Amino acid sequence: MPEFRQEVVENVRQGVDIVQVVGEHVRLEKRGKGYFGLCPFHAEKTPSFSVSQEKQMYYCFGCQAGGNVISFLMEHAKMSFPEALENLAERAGITLPVPHTDDSDAFARRRVRERDLKVMEWATDVFHRQLQNDSLGRVVRDYLKQRGLSLDLITSLKLGFSLAGWSTLLARAESGGFAPADLLRVGLAVQGEKGLYDRFRQRLMFPIRNRQGQVIAFGGRLLGDSDDSSGPKYLNSPETDLFSKGRELFGLDRAAKAIGKAGFAIVVEGYMDAITPWQYGVDNVVATLGTALSAEHAQILRRYTAHICLCFDTDAAGQTAALRGMEVLDKKGLAVKVAVLAQGKDPDEFLRKFGREQFMAAATAEALPLIEYRVLTLSKQHDRTTPQGLGAFGAQVAKVLANVDNALEREAYVKKVVEQYNLSEDAFTFELAKVQGGRFTDKLTKARHTMASRGVAKGVTPGWVRAARILLHIMAKNKTERQPMLDTWVSIGFIDEKYRHLATWLAHDVLHSDDPMSLAHELAQDLKSELAAALTEENLEGNLTDMANECFVKIEEHTLTLEIARVQAELATAEGASRVALATMLRDLQRHRKIPQREKVSQLRGYRT
Ligand SMILES: [Zn+2]
């Protein structure tokens, strides 16, 4: 029964607060009556993503993403509908009725996931106990001591030790209540020709946690003598249902609060590079897991802060990774800098040599923004003592600076570069002008193109769109008016299919709901956006019947204008009898358009209350 289901959904929806739920994913600030933050659905540097507590909905003025708390979890946290509903029901303390058969897949997946997490928790404990074991764990404890890690930190991270044999963990699985297949599924065991064997052997084990602090993977660092059978120095869990390395950042569960407090995140390349700063009291540090920074990483970081400092190895590979990472983050609208560790090869070594103060200085005041870091990298690639090297350097730098859109900013960079690298200002400005000359015409065409394609979506909303939105808003707020308004709208014509869908949905599908937004997750993406736009952008004041009638007239006039244009176009090529018919039609249409608006409002047949 749809009504029954809708009732359950509305109950759950009313039991939670959208500001709180969205606030766990997006940093929100109160502004006036609503909350604003950086939109998680598109890249931006100034917040245009709004959340309304009163209406229990979100809407982005930049990309028009909109919906309710359920659709937020579905689209942003990638939950299925039953998952989102269950998640919210749990918060609200509501027990959901037994799910229908078509939902049972999702519930089965959930059960497997819960078991996977239990396996990981169990393995974390086993590894940790082995590290604490007097004789077994000595090697690894000595190593950690030598790296300067305190017992407190080792315990709170639950670092561990995997033993040397081929199946020591597998042998313990049964006593932990797990089957070998469970270990295989989470990547703790590997399928070999002769059967299963332990993936991690004789390694220092770093539990990798998701944002909720659940262990979803391990990183293992080889200890002691290595031979061919030991595998690489660093080994991570493979990709599993629990773990996708391109989507996880090591330490985020631990660092999240500190990132909020510090106002920025430091991103490093490996577990030790994150753990050492933690040991020194620098908590706002997370690490990538053996992959380049991805767009997904950027999306995740954006929920916590808009400011990132990359702190990578100082070797060539690390610098290339930093440059690429900066570009990825910059594209996603994050303000990104690089800490240049002049006298150490990685954050771990730098901290142990120079301490916290100097590390923080490198990550803040001395950190370089993208443009300056690019120039620095170029300076290392060219021999500026030769005329050719200097020329090539200047040309490359000019290309970099030509990309800076803001003229004042660009000029400031020019000054800085010229001074820092001792270039002739005239000669460099000339090089820059050459690059810009070629680029100016490109930009002009591009700008024109963007303006044209945005016409409707951005800038001034056309009157008929506003009228349609006001009508939807009135229908959403007034249950009893939905059907009569739909009838009138049908008689006038809809202009756009979107509005036909939404008006019909309001009148027929959610007819019992006082708050249709709470059922908006049923709608297709573009319809949900349009409904959110209607409820957010349009205010209802005064006599609603008059307002609705005026909107109907506006829409009718727009339909007429379109129709007249169509008939005129046809008339231009028509001949004989059809020409006469078209001419008559055109005259009628034009006459109808000339009727004053007030008269049309009073003529409206269907909608009168
Ligand atoms: Zn957006």
- Each residue's pLDDT tens digit, 288-315: 987 889 888 988 888 788 899 999 888 8
Most confident of 39-43, 228-232, 556-560: 39-43
C-beta of residue 41 within 8 angstroms of C-beta of residue 71: no
pLDDT-wise least confident of 16-20, 213-217, 491-495: 491-495
Cα separation, 170 vs 200, whole angstroms: 11
Q: How far is ligand 1, taken at its centre, from the CA of residue 49, in Å?
A: 6
State how far the Cα of 319 lies from the Cα of 314, in Å rounded to an integer: 6
Say if residues 41 and 332 touch (Cβ distance below 8 Å).
no
Q: Ligand 1: distance of its center to the CA of 38 in Å?
A: 8
CA of 41 to the centre of ligand 1 (A): 5
Angle between helix 482-492 and 463-477 (nearest 10) = 150
Task: Output the CA 61–ligand 1 centroid distance in Å.
Answer: 7
Cα of 157 from ligand 1 centre, angstroms? 36
Using a CB cutoff of 5 Å, list residues around ligand 1, an ion.
39, 41-42, 60, 62-63, 65
Alpha carbon of 31 to ligand 1 centroid (Å): 17
| Residue 221, both tokens | 């660092």
Strand partners, 31: 34
* Residue 191: φ, ψ to 5°: -85, 115
Q: pLDDT value at position 604?
A: 67
pLDDT surpassing 50 at residue 451: no
CA 300–ligand 1 middle distance (angstroms)? 15
Pick the more confident residue, 324 or 570.
Answer: 324
C-alpha distances (whole Å) from 545 to each of 471, 504, 508, 532, 588 are 10, 19, 21, 22, 28
Q: Compute, in angstroms, the gap from residue 175 CA to the centroid of ligand 1.
A: 50
> Ligand 1 centroid vs 487 CA: distance in angstroms?
34
118: nearest Cα among 171, 169, 184, 186: 186
**How far away, in angstroms, is 72 Cα from ligand 1 center?**
12
Q: In which band, very low, low, confident or very high, does the pLDDT at 447 lie, cut at 50, 70 and 90?
A: very low
pLDDT of residue 181: 94
User: Residue 445: which pLDDT band, with cuts at 50, 70 and 90?
Assistant: very low
Which tens digit of pLDDT belongs to each residue from 544-564?
A: 888 888 898 888 888 888 888
CB 482 within 8 A of CB 475: yes
CA of 454 to the centre of ligand 1 (A): 15
With a cut of 70, say whether residue 446 has pLDDT above it: no
Q: Report the candidate in 480, 548, 467 with the shortest Cα–Cα distance to residue 514.
A: 480
SS3 204: strand
CA of 289 to the centre of ligand 1 (A): 28
Q: Tell how far the Cα of 299 is from the centroid of ligand 1, in angstroms.
A: 12
How many CB atoms are closer than 10 A to CB 264? Answer: 22
Cα 553 to ligand 1 centroid, rounded to whole Å: 32
Q: Per-residue pLDDT tens for 528-544?
A: 999 999 988 777 777 88
CA of 37 to the centre of ligand 1 (A): 10
pLDDT in tens, 316-332: 788 888 888 988 898 88
Hey, what are 525's tokens?
A: 């993406």
Tell me how far apart the alpha carbons of residues 49 and 72 are, in angstroms, rounded to a whole number.
12
Give the pLDDT of residue 218: 97
CA of 87 to the centre of ligand 1 (A): 24
Residue 384, pLDDT > 70, answer yes
Asked if 564 and 593 count as a contact pair (C-beta separation under 8 A), the reply is yes
- For residue 359, the CA-to-ligand 1 centroid distance in Å is 35
Name the β-bridge partners of 266: 285, 309
- Does the pLDDT value for residue 441 go beyond 50? no
CA angle 576/577/579 to nearest 5° reads 70
460 Cα–ligand 1 center, Å? 18
pLDDT for residue 238 is more than 70? yes
Distance 534 CA to ligand 1 centre (A): 16
pLDDT band at 81; cut points 50, 70, 90:
confident
CA distance 343 to 345: 7
Cα of 98 from ligand 1 centre, angstroms:
36
- One-letter amino acid of 42: H
Mean pLDDT taken over the chain: 85
Q: What separation in Å is there between the alpha carbon of 458 and the centre of ligand 1?
A: 13
The predicted pLDDT at position 449 comes to 44
pLDDT in tens, 126-145: 999 999 998 889 989 999 99
What is the spatial distance between Cα 99 and Cα 103, in angstroms, rounded to a whole number? 6
Quick one: tokens of 42? 């598109």
DSSP state, 95? Answer: P
**Most confident option among 260-264, 275-279, 408-412, 575-579:** 275-279
Output the CA–CA distances (angstroms, integers) from residue 440 to 45, 233, 403, 412, 437, in the order listed. 25, 51, 11, 20, 6
Show the 3-state SS of 34-53.
Answer: EEEECCCCCCCCCCCEEEEC
Q: How far is the CA of 456 from the centre of ligand 1 (A)?
A: 17
How many angstroms separate the alpha carbon of residue 59 from the centre of ligand 1? 8
User: Strands of 29-31's sheet, edge to edge?
Assistant: 29-31, 34-37, 49-52, 57-60, 66-67
Terminal Cα-to-Cα distance of the chain (whole angstroms)? 32
Query: How far is ligand 1, taken at its centre, from the CA of residue 282, in Å?
Result: 32
Helix (H, G, I), strand (E, B) or coil at 267: strand
pTM comes to 0.59
Between the CA of 189 and the centroid of ligand 1 the distance, in Å, is 42
